[in-house]
Amino acid sequence: MSLITEDQVVLDLTGADRHEATRTLGERLVASGRCTDLDAFLGDVRKREETMATGLPGGIGIPHARSAAITEPSLVFGRTDGIDWGAKDGPATLVFLIAAPEGGGDAHMQMLPKLARALMKKDFKAALAAATTEAEVVRIVSAEVELDQPVMAAAAAGAAGTAGAGAGAAGTDTTGAAAAPAAKRVLNLVGVTSCPTGIAHTYMAAEGLENAAKAAGHTIKVETQGSAGSTPLSATEIAAADAVIFAHDLPVKDAGRFAGKPLVDVGVKKGISDGPALVSQAEQLVTEWDADPSKRTAAVAAAAAGGPSGGLTSKVESGASTGTKIRQWLMTGVSYMIPFVAAGGILIALSFMLAQVALGEQGPIEIVKYGLTAEGKYNITQSFSAFSLESWAGLLFVIGGASFGFLVPILSGFIAFAIADRPGLVPGIVGGSIAATMGAGFLGGLATGFLAGFVARWIAHWKVAKGVRGVMPVVVIPLLSTLITAGLFITVLGRPIKALSDALTSGLNNMSGSSALLLGIVLGAMMGFDLGGPVNKAAYFFATAGLATAGTVSDAPQLKIMAAVMAAGMVAPLAMALATTVRPHLFSEPERENGKAAWLLGASFISEGAIPFAAADPVRIITSSVIGSAVTGGLVMMFGATLRAPHGGIWVLPLIGNFLLFLLALVIGVLVMTAIVVALKSRDTHLAEVDASATV
Please give the positions annotated as active site. Answer: 64, 195
DSSP code for 473: I
Closest Cα to residue 432, out of 417, 422, 420, 421? 417
Q: How far apart are CA 368 and CA 348, in angstroms?
A: 9
Residue 233 φ/ψ region, left for φ over 0, alpha for ψ in the -120 to 50 degree band, beta for the rest: beta
Residue type, position 178, single letter: A
Q: What is the 3-state secondary structure (H, E, C) of 88-107?
A: CCCCEEEEEEEEEECCCCCH
In terms of Cα–Cα distance, which of 429, 523, 550 is closest to 481?
Answer: 429
> What whole-number distance in Å separates Cα of residue 256 and Cα of residue 307?
9
Cα distance between residue 30 and residue 41, in whole Å: 10
Q: Is 409 exposed, middle or buried (0-12, 13-18, 19+ CB in 10 A)?
A: buried
CA distance 565 to 586: 29
Q: What is the largest CA-CA distance in the chain?
A: 105
If phi > 0 it is left, if psi is from -120 to 50 it is alpha, else beta; for residue 10 that is beta
Instruction: Using the Cα atoms of residue 144, residue 146, residue 150 and residue 156 in order, give the sign of their dihedral.
Output: positive
What sign for the dihedral angle of Cα 248, 254, 255, 258?
negative
Q: 486 CB contacts (<8 Å, ≥6 apart)?
A: 427, 430, 431, 434, 448
d(CA 292, CA 284): 12
The answer to whether 72 and 33 are in contact (CB under 8 A) is no
Would you give the DSSP letter of residue 148? P
Other Cβ atoms closer than 10 A to 236: 8
